[in-house]
Structures are given as C-alpha cells and as structure tokens.
Amino acid sequence: MLKTIIIDDENRAVQTLQIILSEYCPQVSVVNKAYSAPEGIKLISLHKPDLIFLDIEMPNGTGFDVLEAFPNRTFDVIFVTAYNNYALKAIKFSAADYILKPVDIEEVVESVKRISERRNQPGNTHPDINGLLHNIKNLYQKKISVPTFNGTEYISTDEILYFEADRSYCKIFFAQKRNILISRSLSALEQLLPTGNFVKIHKSHIVNLAAVKKNLRTDGGIVELTDGTQLLIAKTKKENFLASMQRYIKENKL
C-alpha cells in the first residue's frame, strides 16, 4: 500500500481526489489531508508517506515550499494544478508526475500506476525534483538546471549561444566553443526557456537572441552568432524569427 497525503487548499478538490483514490486506486491509502503548505509539512514529518498529491498554489506558501522542507525526500510526488504556466513547463521538463484540475479519473489512475511500478523496480529512481526546484527558484535569475550524463549542470541562460537537436538528446553551445550534451530533447528544453530570449529558427536549432550578430540574406536566411557560428533559418521560421528579434531589440532598448 502507498501511504498517501493530499495537500490542497480547495476542500472540494481534496474530496474529489479522495473519492477517486478510494474507488479506483486500491494500492493507495490516504492517511491524512492538509489545506496549506505549513500544515502539509507537519503531516509529512508525522506520517512519512510514500506518496503525496501536492497543489502548487496555496495560502502561506506553495507546493514547492513544501518540497524544499524535505531535501532528502523519499516520497513520490504527483503535482495537482489548475495552471498551465511556467511552473507546469518546469514540472514536465523534470519528468515529474502531474494532473490538471479539474481532476480526471484516468489521469489519476495512470499516475498512481506509474509510481507504483517505479517504486517496485530495482534501483528505483525518482524524477529530478531538486532540478525542478532549482528551475522554479531561478525563474527570475535566468538560470536553468539541466540533466547531463554525469549529473546535473546549472547554467545561466545568458551564457548560452544556441541549442542543437541530437536525435532524442540536445547539445548546448557556449562561447569558446564549449558544448555539453543533455538527456532531454530540443522540444522538451524549449518549454523551459525564458520567453522572449530564445527562438526556434529550425527544427534542429534554438538561438539566444542576445547572441545574434547578423542576419544574412538567403532563401530563408542565415544567422551569424557572436562567435562566428552560422545557422540556417528555415523558411517557415523566418517571419517568427524577425518578429522575435525586433521585439527583443525594442524591449531591451538596443
């Protein structure tokens, strides 16, 4: 049985979720409910659950504040949110489990099943929740946490020149020709980047607008970056690139 706590400030949402778990998830035992972040922290310390359902926006703190109180957590998390915003993009990027409000029975059942199977696997590995917390915390500091094959690297987005798709992985290129390979796809990474600073110019490339030095005229176009790298702009991406570049120049008063 998965000893479970529901943490959500909406009483109706808690009741709905509890009914679904009772009727459709026999492997789950709800041991308690909390209606605020501080209360959730107390109940986790008391019950030491296997699983928590965690709302993001709550009074007196957020779901992320709850997680930060347990840096060495052993429980799994299913985020419950009504908001399709940056936080949700970061959750998706970290490969964490989440369900959207209003709660759907099938989504709850699938999420619980996924966690049950993962916990029963040898060498059970949790999603990168610490990386998620880093990305949320540094939203306004323009810093992201990315998974590499040697661990995790924390990168200032100002240092990035461009991203390049490498099959189901992605390469990040910096000045001085340094690059790293990360275990996420280009499309997944795109969801995490600060809006307005990066633009996709080709199915294989996303560029940092701050690093664009020239726009050379060809059929679609070619961008030249500050390190001399030249990248092709797909014809279908040219209009969006030019509009994004103009907006970036205007917003940054360049």
Question: Comparing 250 with 123, which gets the higher pLDDT?
Answer: 250
Rounded to two decimals, the pTM is 0.57
Read off the pLDDT band of 5 (50, 70, 90): very high
- Judge whether 213 and 201 are in contact, CB under 8 Å: no
How far out from the chain centre does Cα 184 lie? 11
pLDDT tens figures, 8-42 = 999 999 999 999 999 999 999 999 999 999 999 99
Shortest CA distance to 201 belongs to which of 191, 192, 190?
190
Q: How many distinct structural domains can be found in the chain?
A: 2
Q: Are residues 78 and 111 in the same domain?
A: yes
Residue 224: domain span: 142-251
CATH of the domain at 30: 3.40.50.2300
Q: Are residues 93 and 61 in the same domain?
A: yes
Tokens of residue 18, six digits: 């509890």
Helix (H) or strand (E) holding 231: strand 230-232
Question: Comparing 194 with 5, which gets the higher pLDDT?
Answer: 5
List the beta strands (DSSP E) in 82-237. 97-100, 143-148, 151-156, 160-166, 169-174, 179-182, 198-202, 205-208, 212-216, 222-225, 230-232
pLDDT tens figures, 89-137 = 667 666 578 888 888 999 999 999 988 988 887 765 666 676 776 666 5
Which of 131, 166, 189 lies at the terminal end of a domain, its last residue? 131
The pLDDT assigned to 124 comes to 59
Q: Are residues 7 and 126 in the same domain?
A: yes
Q: Are residues 117 and 184 in the same domain?
A: no
